């Protein structure tokens, strides 16, 4: 008889929900974590970064208080206090996971896990090495920052998100490599803390995976905030330059700054945990899985950033929960990755679901486009947040939600309506027949759909 029904390796946003859900379903469950409960997301990523972004947003609004008829003295920044608040938020969530483990009876095993045989895991912990057995092993080891030769981080001036999120010394200038979500969020934060910020991106536009119109709109407003963008250009090397850094481009130009942030994507953590030793298929660091998160070896599963759909915390969470529900014998909709929302939390926010125009054309899908600017939305105007627009692709002839793209205030909240619509195969008719409260930002979603059919009365 095994020690556990389910053993989860990793307590990030894929692992800890899987462990809790498994225990809720009556399975004897343990979760192995070598660092902090909650993983990167709760401790060094999603959660603390949103605390920093809220501070930056408030600083921006305070500097524009006169737009609202208010008079506020010059805004000062207590940078160590800003970081301290962010760490406090992260710590609260870490304690929350520990409390949930206790509430639902999940055993927390501290240490580094390695699969040594089918159903057997060795754990190097603070008290030595132990072995435990489990009928089902769920691997949720997440990912780490990626970099390339010639641009290695030193943890002091050349940073990844992990060092940047806890650094409480206020920079005066920063160079950021990569204009994805991580790069832009740090750019927005540091800029509104008073730093000169330059973002370098090899693609021709920021947020390369987003709709180009949406990305261009976001860049326009970020540039107005004073962020400098260098697009379609590549870095040769990054090195220390006295007490700062120097980024040398392939065309010979250089950019000097206090700090350089490497925001060049992530690399899955699949090394050193025994996957290949027990025959689990790994392709370029990624573990292929089916819709139930099963690997090619029975009894071993993978979720989150080490799978082909990795990179987002909410994807990992859903995969983890579905995985253990299938283990418990529940019937559920298998994971496909078709309806994963993408969110970037700088201001203006960017959010999307489904296909871009280019992807729809590549697949040969006929569609209509509907757009609506927040400039014509009463709530956005009243809030002083009228930047951006909603863009929706509606299939022909049935009106299904092929793709939806939002840039503007609360975009990351608004996208859920389109996510629900796609998940439940709703069409434009269902959205047009739904009364949206007035005045709300949500009306812009309705109006974008209506505009596609010539039915909007506000634009």
Query: What is the set of active-site residues?
Result: 438
Cβ burial, residue 334 (10 Å; 0-12/13-18/19+): exposed
Which residues, other chains included, contact 296 with Cβ-Cβ below 8 Å and sequence gap of 6+?
279, 280, 281, 288
Q: What are phi and psi of 273, to 5 degrees?
A: -115, 10
Which residues, other chains included, contact 331 with Cβ-Cβ below 8 Å and sequence gap of 6+?
none
Q: Is 287:306 a contact under the CB 8 Å cutoff? A: yes
Place of tokens 């909240």: 413
In terms of DSSP bridges, do strands 128-139 and 300-302 run parallel, antiparallel, or are they unpaired?
parallel
What sign for the dihedral angle of Cα 278, 282, 285, 290? negative
Q: Is 85:55 a contact under the CB 8 Å cutoff? A: yes
CA of residue 424 relative to chain centroid, distance: 23
């Amino acid at each position: 008889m095994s020690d556990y029904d389910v053993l989860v390796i990793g307590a990030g946003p894929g692992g800890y929900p899987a462990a809790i859900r498994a225990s809720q379903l009556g399975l004897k469950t343990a979760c192995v974590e070598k660092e902090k409960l909650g993983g990167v997301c709760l401790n060094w990523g999603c959660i603390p970064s949103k605390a920093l972004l809220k501070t930056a947003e408030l600083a921006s609004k305070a500097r524009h208080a006169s737009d609202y008829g208010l008079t506020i003295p010059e805004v000062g920044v207590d940078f160590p206090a800003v970081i301290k608040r962010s760490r406090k938020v992260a710590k609260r969530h870490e304690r929350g996971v520990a409390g949930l483990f206790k509430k639902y009876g999940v055993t927390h095993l501290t240490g580094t896990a390695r699969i040594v045989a089918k159903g057997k895991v060795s754990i190097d912990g603070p008290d030595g090495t132990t072995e435990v057995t489990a009928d089902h092993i769920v691997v949720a080891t997440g990912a780490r920052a990626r970099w390339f030769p010639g641009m290695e981080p030193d943890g002091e001036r050349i940073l990844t998100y992990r060092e940047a999120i806890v650094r409480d010394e206020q920079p005066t200038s920063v160079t950021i490599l990569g204009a994805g979500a991580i790069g832009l969020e740090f750019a927005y934060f540091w800029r509104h803390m008073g730093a000169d910020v330059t973002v370098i991106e090899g693609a021709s536009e920021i947020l390369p995976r987003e709709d180009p119109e949406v990305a261009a709109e976001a860049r326009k407003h970020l540039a107005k905030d004073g962020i400098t963008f260098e697009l379609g250009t590549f870095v040769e090397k990054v090195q220390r330059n006295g007490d700062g850094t120097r980024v040398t481009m392939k065309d010979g130009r250089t950019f000097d700054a206090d700090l350089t942030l490497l925001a060049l994507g992530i690399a899955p953590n699949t090394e050193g945990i025994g996957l290949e030793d027990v025959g689990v298929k790994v392709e370029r660091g990624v573990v292929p899985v089916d819709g139930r998160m099963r690997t090619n070896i029975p009894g071993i599963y993978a979720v989150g950033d080490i799978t082909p759909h990795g990179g987002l915390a909410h994807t990992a969470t859903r995969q983890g929960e579905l995985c253990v529900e299938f283990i418990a014998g529940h019937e559920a909709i298998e994971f496909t990755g078709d309806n994963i929302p993408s969110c970037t939390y700088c201001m203006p926010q960017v959010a999307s679901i489904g296909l871009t125009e280019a992807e729809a054309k590549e697949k040969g899908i006929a569609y209509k486009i509907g757009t609506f600017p927040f400039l014509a939305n009463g709530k956005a105007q009243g809030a002083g947040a009228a930047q951006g627009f909603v863009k929706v692709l509606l299939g022909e002839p049935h009106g299904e939600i092929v793709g939806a793209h939002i840039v503007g205030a609360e975009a990351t909240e608004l996208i859920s309506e389109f996510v629900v619509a796609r998940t439940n195969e709703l069409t434009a008719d269902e959205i047009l027949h739904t009364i949206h409260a007035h005045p709300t930002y949500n009306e812009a979603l309705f109006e974008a759909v209506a505009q596609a059919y010539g039915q909007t009365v506000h634009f």
